[in-house]
C-alpha cells in the first residue's frame, strides 16, 4: 500500500547517476574458456548500471560507464555458466574472466508467445529498475506486471486478471512452487501488496498465455518469481517512510555461503492521516514481514538455496451495505519455507524444490464470518538435457498435498447481512492431493526457428480425473522481427472453497481452457514493438451464485483480444513504454446460466509510462493509465420483506451495465547521493492520483434500492515520501 518504499536506492541508483556526466570510466577485460581459448560474442555488462558490450573475436571487451566505486562485471554466453568479478571502476588493468562450460540453453531466439521477463538480465522486456520505479506501482511486483499488456485492471488490488480470465486462473510461483498467500491486505475490493519484497527477487517471468508443459494446474497466466542469488558484495540497508520502516542485510561470506535477511513493519495510519481516506479504518492496514535466505554454492554451477518468509496483516474498513452499515475486518497470517537444489553435470541440469506453507485467515462482515486454515506441501523436480546447442529435453513432475478447513457462517440472502439475518453455518474440511508429470522438447529446428513441444498429465484426488494437456509454441526470426505462435490445452482443479460442503460441492471436475496465441515482435532489447492476438475457449467453469453463495459448475466461456506493447529510449536517459490491451470476455452467469460479459471484461486498457534521469542524481517518472469500466449487474427494483423489514432487490440482465471509465496519473521523484565510497543515500517522493479523480470501483444502494451510491477509490490524491541508506561492504 505504500509508495516506492523498500530499498528503492538499489533499483534507481544506476538510472539516476547515469544522467550526471558523460561516460567517465572504461573498464577493459578479456574473456576466455577454461582451455584458454577466447570467447567472442559474449554478453558483458555491469550489474549496477546495466552498461554493456559484446566481446570481440579475441575475447576482448570495453565497458564505458559513469558508475563510481566498485562495480560487478557479469559475463554470459550460450553453453557456459555465467561469471562475475568485482573491480574498482577506475581500474587500469585488464580484467580477466573465465567461463566454465554448462548445458547449452537455446536463448538466441528468446521471444515466446505471451511471455515477458523482468530482472537484471539484459534484453528483458521489463527490467527490475522499471518494476520499482513505475509510478503508482508502490514498488510492488504485481502492480508492475499490471502495466504489461494482457492484464486487466479490474479493481484496486494487485490480483492478476489475465486476458479475460478470473484472478484465480493465474498462479504466482516462487522458486518453482505455487505461493499459498501471494497477496496481503485482503479487502472487499481486492488485495494491496505482494507478500514477497521485490528486492528479494533475482528475476521475474510473466506469461499471459501459451506457457509450456512445465506449468500445470493453471488456466490463464503465470508469474514465476526467483529469489535472489549470491550478491557480489555484502550490504546493509535501512529504509524509513511514511507508512513503513524496514532493514535488510546481504552477507557474501567465504566458501560460497550467502545470507539474506529482511524485517519490515508497515502501518498506514499516518499515510491516511496526511492524505485523508474515502473510508473509515479501524484499524488502518498494518502488519509485518520477516524473511531470510541461506545459499550455498559449493561449486560454480551448483546451488543449495533455502528461503523462508513470515507475514501478518490486519485491517478494519467501513463498508456501507443496504441492509447493514458496519465494518469489514480481516486478519491474515502466512508462513512459507522452501529448499531447493540445482547443479550442472556436463549436459545435464537437475533441479529440485520442496516447500511447506501455512495460512490462517479470519474475515467478517455483518453475519458473514469465515475462518480458513491451510497447510500445503509441494515438491517439484526437473531434469534438462542439452546434447548440443540445438536441443534441450526436459522431463519432470510436481506433487502437492493440501489440507484446508473452512469454518463460518454465510447469510442465506445477499440482501440481508445485518444482525439476526438467517445464515448457513458450516465446518468443512477439504483435503486432497494433486500430481503431474511432463515432458518437453526445446528444438532449434532451423537457424531462425525454435519449437517447444510438450505434454503433461495431471491427476487430483479432488476431481478423480486424469487430464492430458498437449502444448506447442514456436518462434521464427525474420530479420529484425520474430513471429510467434502457441496452442495448448490447460486444466485447473477448482479452489478448495468451491469443493467445501458449506459453499461448494465435492467431486466437481477440473476447469479447462484451450488457448491459441499468434504474434509478432520487432527488436529484443532497447526498442521493442510487439502485438499478439489470442483466443481462449473455456468449459467446465465453476462460479458462485450471487445470493446463496453456492458453487455451480459446468460453465462455458470465451475470451479473445489483442495486446500491444511498445518500449523505446526516445533520447539519452529517457525511456518510455506503452501497453494496450483489448479483450472481449464472456462466460456463463452462475445465477441465470446464460452467456454474459464476464465480471472482469475490461474492454480497453492502456498504460503509458516514462522515465527521465536528471542531473545530480535526480530521477523523474510518470504514468498515465486508462481503462474501460468494470461490468456489473444493475438493480431494477425491490420488494419489502416485511418480517425482516429488509428490501430484497431484483436484478437486470447479468453484467449489462458498466462503471465509469478508470483514469489515473501518478508521478515519482527521487535523488541518489553517495555519502562516501561505501554509503549511499536516496530520498524519494511520489504523488499518486495527481488530479484526484473519483475513480468508481463499485456501486452500493440505499436501503430501499431507490438510490444508487458510487463507491470511489480508496485513495484520494496521495503523497508519499521517505529515505533509504545503504552501506556496501568490501565483499
Q: Average pLDDT for residues 479-499, to the nearest whole number?
A: 91
Enumerate residues 6+ apart whose C-beta is below 8 A from 192: 1, 138, 156, 157, 158, 183, 184, 185, 285
Confidence of residue 550 (pLDDT cuts 50, 70, 90): confident
Q: What is the pLDDT of residue 96?
A: 86
**pLDDT over threshold 90, residue 82:** no
> Over the stretch 317-337, which tens digit does the pLDDT of each residue have?
888 888 888 888 889 899 999
- The topology (CATH level 3) of 115-728 is Maltoporin; Chain A (2.40.170)
Sign of CA dihedral 699, 702, 708, 713: negative
**pLDDT over threshold 70, residue 462:** yes
- The answer to whether 88 touches 25, Cβ cutoff 8 Å, is no
Confidence of residue 132 (pLDDT cuts 50, 70, 90): low
Q: Average pLDDT for residues 525-551, to the nearest whole number?
A: 86
Enter the C-alpha cell of residue 124.
528483458
Cβ neighbours around 317 below 10 Å, total: 22
Q: What is the pLDDT of residue 420?
A: 86
Q: What is the pLDDT of residue 653?
A: 95
Q: What is the pLDDT of residue 197?
A: 65
Confidence of residue 492 (pLDDT cuts 50, 70, 90): very high
Domain coordinates of the chain in residue numbers? 8-99, 115-728
Nearest to 489 by CA among 457, 509, 512: 512
- Written as one string, the DSSP assignment of 461-499 is TTTTEEEEEEEEEEEEEETTEEEEEEEEEEEEPPPHHHH
> Over the stretch 410-427, which tens digit does the pLDDT of each residue have?
888 888 888 888 888 889
> How far is residue 54 from each of residues 103, 253, 476, 482, 725, measured CA to CA in Å?
21, 30, 24, 22, 34
Provide the total of helices (H) and of strands (E) in the chain, helices listed first.
5, 43
Average pLDDT, whole number, for the chain? Answer: 83
Sign of CA dihedral 30, 36, 37, 41: negative
Element (H, E) at 622: strand 618-627
Percent of the chain with pLDDT over 90: 36
Confidence of residue 4 (pLDDT cuts 50, 70, 90): very low
Element (H, E) at 348: strand 348-365
- List helix spans (H) across 454-592: 496-499
Cβ neighbours around 160 below 10 Å, total: 28
Cβ neighbours around 11 below 10 Å, total: 22
Grid cell 451510491 in the structure block, residue: 709
Q: Average pLDDT for residues 74-82, to the nearest whole number?
A: 75
Q: What is the pLDDT of residue 11?
A: 29
> Over the stretch 651-676, which tens digit does the pLDDT of each residue have?
999 999 999 999 999 998 888 887 88
Q: What is the pLDDT of residue 440?
A: 95
Q: Average pLDDT for residues 597-621, to the nearest whole number?
A: 89
The CATH superfamily label for domain 8-99 reads Carboxypeptidase-like, regulatory domain (2.60.40.1120)
pTM of the model: 0.81
Distance, in Å, from the CA atom of 471 to the CA atom of 516, rounded to the nearest integer, reads 10
The residue ranking higher by pLDDT, 688 or 715, is: 688
Q: What is the pLDDT of residue 375?
A: 96
Percent of the chain with pLDDT over 70: 87
> Over the stretch 90-123, which tens digit does the pLDDT of each residue have?
887 788 888 876 544 333 455 666 676 555 443 3
Q: What is the pLDDT of residue 13?
A: 30
Q: Average pLDDT for residues 29-48, to the nearest whole number?
A: 81
Amino acid at each position: 500500500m505504500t509508495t516506492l518504499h523498500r530499498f528503492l536506492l538499489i533499483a534507481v541508483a544506476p538510472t539516476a547517476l547515469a544522467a550526471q556526466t558523460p561516460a567517465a570510466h572504461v573498464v577493459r577485460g578479456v574473456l576466455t574458456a577454461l582451455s584458454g581459448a577466447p570467447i567472442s560474442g559474449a554478453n558483458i555488462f555491469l550489474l549496477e548500471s546495466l552498461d554493456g558490450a559484446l566481446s570481440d573475436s579475441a575475447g576482448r571487451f570495453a565497458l564505458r560507464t559513469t558508475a563510481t566505486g566498485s562495480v560487478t562485471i557479469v559475463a554470459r554466453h550460450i553453453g557456459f555458466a555465467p561469471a562475475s568479478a568485482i573491480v574498482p571502476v577506475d581500474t587500469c588493468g585488464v580484467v580477466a574472466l573465465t567461463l566454465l562450460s554448462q548445458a547449452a540453453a537455446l536463448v538466441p531466439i528468446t521471444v515466446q508467445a505471451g511471455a515477458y521477463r523482468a530482472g537484471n538480465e539484459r534484453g528483458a522486456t521489463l527490467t527490475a529498475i522499471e518494476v520499482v520505479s513505475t509510478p503508482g506501482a508502490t514498488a510492488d511486483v504485481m502492480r508492475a506486471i499490471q502495466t504489461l499488456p494482457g492484464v486487466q485492471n479490474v479493481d484496486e488490488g494487485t490480483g492478476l486478471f489475465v486476458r479475460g480470465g478470473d484472478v484465480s486462473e493465474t498462479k504466482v510461483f516462487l522458486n518453482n512452487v505455487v505461493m499459498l498467500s501471494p497477496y496481503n491486505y485482503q479487502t472487499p475490493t481486492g488485495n494491496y501488496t505482494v507478500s514477497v519484497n521485490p528486492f528479494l527477487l533475482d528475476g521475474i517471468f510473466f506469461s499471459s498465455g501459451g506457457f509450456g508443459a512445465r506449468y500445470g494446474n493453471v488456466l490463464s497466466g503465470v508469474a514465476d518469481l526467483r529469489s535472489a542469488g549470491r550478491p557480489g558484495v555484502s550490504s546493509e540497508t535501512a529504509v524509513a517512510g511514511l507508512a513503513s520502516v524496514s532493514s535488510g542485510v546481504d552477507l557474501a561470506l567465504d566458501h560460497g555461503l550467502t545470507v539474506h535477511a529482511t524485517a519490515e513493519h508497515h502501518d498506514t495510519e499516518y499515510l491516511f492521516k496526511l492524505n485523508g481516506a474515502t473510508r473509515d479504518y479501524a484499524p488502518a492496514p498494518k502488519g509485518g514481514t520477516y524473511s531470510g535466505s541461506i545459499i550455498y554454492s559449493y561449486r560454480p554451477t551448483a546451488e543449495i538455496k533455502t528461503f523462508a518468509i513470515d507475514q501478518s496483516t490486519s485491517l478494519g474498513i467501513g463498508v456501507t451495505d443496504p441492509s447493514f452499515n458496519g465494518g469489514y475486518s480481516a486478519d491474515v497470517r502466512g508462513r512459507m519455507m522452501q529448499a531447493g537444489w540445482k547443479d550442472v553435470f556436463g549436459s545435464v541440469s537437475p533441479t529440485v524444490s520442496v516447500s511447506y506453507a501455512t495460512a490462517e485467515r479470519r474475515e467478517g462482515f455483518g453475519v458473514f464470518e469465515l475462518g480458513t486454515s491451510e497447510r500445503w506441501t509441494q515438491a517439484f523436480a526437473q531434469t534438462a538435457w542439452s546434447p548440443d546447442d540445438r536441443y534441450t529435453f526436459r522431463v519432470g513432475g510436481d506433487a502437492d498435498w493440501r489440507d484446508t478447513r473452512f469454518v463460518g457462517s454465510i447469510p442465506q440472502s445477499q440482501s440481508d447481512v445485518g444482525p439476526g439475518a438467517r445464515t448457513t453455518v458450516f465446518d468443512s474440511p477439504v483435503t486432497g492431493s494433486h500430481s503431474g508429470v511432463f515432458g518437453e522438447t526445446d528444438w532449434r529446428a532451423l537457424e531462425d526457428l525454435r519449437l517447444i513441444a510438450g505434454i503433461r498429465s495431471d491427476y487430483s484426488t479432488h476431481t478423480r480425473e486424469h487430464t492430458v494437456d498437449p502444448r506447442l509454441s514456436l518462434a521464427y526470426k525474420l530479420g529484425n522481427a520474430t513471429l510467434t505462435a502457441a496452442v495448448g490445452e490447460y486444466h485447473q482443479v477448482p479452489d478448495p472453497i468451491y469443493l467445501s460442503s458449506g459453499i461448494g460441492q465435492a467431486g466437481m471436475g477440473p476447469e479447462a481452457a484451450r488457448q491459441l496465441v499468434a504474434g509478432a515482435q520487432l527488436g529484443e532489447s532497447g526498442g521493442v514493438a510487439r502485438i499478439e492476438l489470442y483466443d481462449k475457449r473455456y468449459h467446465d467453469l465453476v462460479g458462485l451464485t450471487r445470493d446463496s453463495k453456492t458453487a455451480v459448475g459446468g460453465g462455458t466461456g470465451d475470451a479473445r483480444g489483442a495486446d500491444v506493447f511498445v518500449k523505446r529510449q526516445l533520447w539519452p536517459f529517457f525511456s518510455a513504454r506503452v501497453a494496450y490491451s483489448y479483450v472481449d470476455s464472456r462466460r456463463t452467469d452462475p445465477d441465470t446460466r446464460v452467456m454474459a460479459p464476464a465480471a472482469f471484461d475490461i474492454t480497453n486498457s492502456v498504460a503509458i509510462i516514462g522515465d527521465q534521469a536528471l542531473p545530480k542524481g535526480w530521477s523523474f517518472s510518470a504514468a498515465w493509465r486508462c481503462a474501460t469500466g468494470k461490468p456489473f449487474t444493475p438493480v431494477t427494483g425491490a420488494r419489502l420483506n416485511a418480517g425482516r423489514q429488509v428490501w430484497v432487490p431484483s436484478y437486470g440482465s447479468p453484467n449489462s451495465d458498466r462503471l465509469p471509465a478508470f483514469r489515473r496519473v501518478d508521478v515519482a521523484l527521487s535523488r541518489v547521493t553517495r555519502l562516501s565510497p561505501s554509503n549511499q543515500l536516496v530520498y524519494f517522493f511520489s504523488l499518486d492520483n495527481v488530479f484526484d479523480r473519483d475513480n468508481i470501483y463499485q456501486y452500493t444502494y440505499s436501503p430501499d434500492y431507490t438510490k444508487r451510491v458510487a463507491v470511489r477509490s480508496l485513495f484520494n490524491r496521495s503523497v508519499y515520501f521517505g529515505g533509504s541508506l545503504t552501506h556496501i561492504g568490501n565483499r
